[in-house]
Structure formats: C-alpha cells, structure tokens
C-alpha cells in the first residue's frame, strides 16, 4: 500500500507543466507551418490572381474582375474541356473500382501467399515514374501498326491498325487507371479486412448464397474504403497533367493540360489561376459528394 502511494505521488510530481492542448499544438506546429507556407498561402495567392487583371505588359494587378471565370463558363471550348475532365475522371474511377474490388478481396481474404503476391503486384507500379509508365502506354496504344496492341491484333488477323486509342479520352482513362489503381485497392482492402469474417458466415447460415451475402453484407460494410478510393482517384485524375498531356492529344484535352497551356503558351496567369480554382472545386465537390451519396445509400438499408 505504501509503495503504491509513493509511486502515485512520484507520477504526480512528474506531470507536465504545460496544459495538454498546448502540447498538442506544439506537436502539430511543424506540420501546420509547412502546410500554411506551401499550401494555404500559395492557394490564396492563386485565388487572388484569378480575380485580378493582367495588363498587356503582363503585370497582374487591380482592378478586381471575374472576367476569367466568365470566359470559362461562357466559352464552349472551355466547357468542352471541363466536361472531358469530368468524364475521364468518372470513367477512371469506375473502371478502377471494378478492377480494384476483386484485387482487394484477394488481398483481404486470400491465402497468405496469394494475398502477399497480389499486394506486391498492385503496389509495384508505384515504384516506376509516372512518365516512364505513360511512355509505356504510348508504345502499347500507338495508333498505327507500330503500337503493340494494334500489332498484336493484326497478328491475330484483325486487319492493320484496327483500334485508335492513343490521343483519345480512352487512352487517358486506361493510363490513369493503371497509375491510380493502387490508391483504390489499398483503402478498399483495408476496409474489407476490417469486416469480421463471422458476419459473412452468419449470412450464409441464414440462407444467403455467396453472392447475396456479398451484396447485403460485404459490399455495404466496405463503403468507407470505397468512398476513400473513389475520392482519391477521382480528384487525382481530374487534376492530372502528365497522363493527359502525353496520351490525350487534342481530343483528350483536360483542365490540367489547359492550365499549363495558359501559363506557358498564352501567358494568361489569371485564366490559369481560375482553372486551378475550378480543379480545387472539383476535388472538394467529389470529396463531399461521394461521401454524401454513400452515406445516403448506407442509411437507406
């Protein structure tokens, strides 16, 4: 009894002098400072640019104007690019999801060896630079018979240059799925692994065949991972630059590429800033929207 009382006082006397909230703030400090300096501040400057006027000489200054946004909304060309961007991001997310789900199932429920090998295969592309991977897709998707896919198809008797994929939206979707697949698989697998296996067994015992147990139990319970994966892939695809630039061509012009053109070709900084703001908005809306949809679905059950 006496020793434990002594120990308690010992601990009490070593209690930190600072209140806990302050300690938390101090620990967060470096990360907060980093984000303020390199994310929040530049974002604000960029947003500022988007509502300023650029002179003939190229100086950016007052007066305030929404001219750039106006041109974005009213110009058919810009609208077309925005729609392409949303379409590509949408199809990439959907295709990635369909491919990712079985992979995530194997990682979460497969035998240890199969699970580990699948995990490695999924993650392996991450160690190769996006540029190298996209060059690879250029070679594979080439529109004349030098493209690996066309060469293969013609060798199988489909006639010369039978598919035209390079420099279309579909080329971007294919390459983006490849790039972002791991970011869909990983949260999904984590979400699936958290589901207690006895839930599935209980459903089977209650008379559910495997597919119904999947639809009623596994799928709804994997929604958190689904939301995370969809949001990440949708936002990153919508904002991507390298892939659409390299395999999209003019027909697959996306907002990221357009933005780069505004800066390096048209030298129109306010317009570029407005485009950037739109991209951020898309990412935010995707984030909130997918979450909201999933939540509603989830509650509906």
Q: Which is nearer to other proteins, 164 or 216 (CB)?
A: 216
Q: Which is nearer to other proteins, 20 or 301 (CB)?
A: 301
CA–CA separation, 271 vs 116, rounded Å? 47
Q: Please state the closest distance from residue 194 (CB atom) to other proteins, in A.
A: 11
Q: Which is nearer to other proteins, 135 or 298 (CB)?
A: 298
Q: Verify cis geometry, omega within 30 degrees of 0, for the bond prior to 81.
A: no
DSSP 179: H
SS3 of 267, please?
coil
Q: Please state the closest distance from residue 221 (CB atom) to other proteins, in A.
A: 6
SS3 of 61, please?
strand
Q: Please state the closest distance from residue 296 (CB atom) to other proteins, in A.
A: 13
Contacts of 192 (CB under 8 A, 6+ apart): 104, 105, 107, 108, 109, 218, 222, 225
Neighbours of 276 (CB within 10 A): 22
DSSP 15: S
Q: Please state the closest distance from residue 210 (CB atom) to other proteins, in A.
A: 8
> To which residue do tokens 């009382």 refer?
5
| Distance, C-alpha 24 to centroid of its chain | 30
Q: Which is nearer to other proteins, 126 or 210 (CB)?
A: 210
Q: Please state the closest distance from residue 207 (CB atom) to other proteins, in A.
A: 4
Q: At 182, which helix (H) or strand (E)?
A: helix 169-193
Do residues 168 and 190 make contact, with C-beta atoms less than 8 angstroms apart? no
Q: Please state the closest distance from residue 191 (CB atom) to other proteins, in A.
A: 13
Do residues 214 and 129 make contact, with C-beta atoms less than 8 angstroms apart? no
Q: Please state the closest distance from residue 209 (CB atom) to other proteins, in A.
A: 5
Q: Which is nearer to other proteins, 110 or 220 (CB)?
A: 220
Q: Which is nearer to other proteins, 68 or 222 (CB)?
A: 222
Q: Which is nearer to other proteins, 68 or 200 (CB)?
A: 200
- Binding residues for other proteins, rule: CB under 8 A, are 196, 198-199, 201-210, 212-213, 216-217, 220-221, 298, 301
Do residues 171 and 137 make contact, with C-beta atoms less than 8 angstroms apart? yes
Q: Which is nearer to other proteins, 136 or 224 (CB)?
A: 224
Q: Please state the closest distance from residue 188 (CB atom) to other proteins, in A.
A: 17
Do residues 145 and 154 make contact, with C-beta atoms less than 8 angstroms apart? yes
Encoded tokens for 23: 């300690």
Q: Alpha carbon of 220 to those of 94, 97, 226, 263: distances in Å?
A: 17, 15, 9, 44
SS3 of 80, please?
helix
């Amino acid at each position: 009894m006496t020793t434990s009382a002594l120990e308690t006082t010992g601990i009490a006397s070593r209690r930190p002098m600072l209140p806990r909230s302050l300690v938390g703030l101090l620990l967060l400090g470096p990360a907060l400072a980093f984000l303020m300096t390199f994310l929040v501040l530049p974002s604000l400057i960029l947003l500022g640019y988007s509502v300023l006027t650029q002179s003939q000489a190229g100086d950016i200054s007052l007066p305030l104007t929404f001219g750039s946004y106006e041109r974005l909304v009213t110009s058919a060309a810009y609208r077309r690019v925005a729609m392409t961007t949303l379409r590509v991001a949408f199809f990439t997310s959907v295709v990635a999801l369909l491919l990712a789900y079985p992979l995530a199932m194997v990682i979460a429920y497969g035998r240890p060896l199969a699970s580990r090998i699948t995990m490695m295969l999924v993650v392996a592309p991450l160690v190769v630079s996006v540029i190298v991977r996209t060059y690879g897709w250029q070679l594979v998707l080439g529109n004349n018979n030098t493209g690996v896919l066309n060469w293969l198809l013609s060798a199988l008797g489909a006639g010369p240059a039978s598919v035209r994929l390079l420099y279309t939206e579909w080329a971007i979707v294919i390459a983006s799925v490849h790039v972002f697949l791991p970011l869909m698989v990983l949260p999904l697998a984590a979400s699936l692994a958290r589901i207690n296996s006895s839930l599935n067994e209980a459903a089977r015992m209650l008379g559910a065949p495997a597919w119904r147990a999947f639809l009623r139990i596994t799928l709804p319970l994997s929604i958190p991972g689904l939301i995370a994966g969809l949001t990440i892939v949708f936002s990153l695809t919508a904002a991507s630059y390298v892939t659409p630039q390299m395999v999209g061509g003019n027909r697959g012009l996306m907002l990221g590429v357009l933005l780069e053109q505004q800066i390096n070709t048209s030298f129109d900084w306010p317009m570029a800033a407005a485009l950037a703001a739109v991209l951020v908005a898309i990412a935010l809306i995707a984030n909130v929207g997918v979450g909201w949809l999933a939540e509603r679905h989830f509650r509906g059950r």
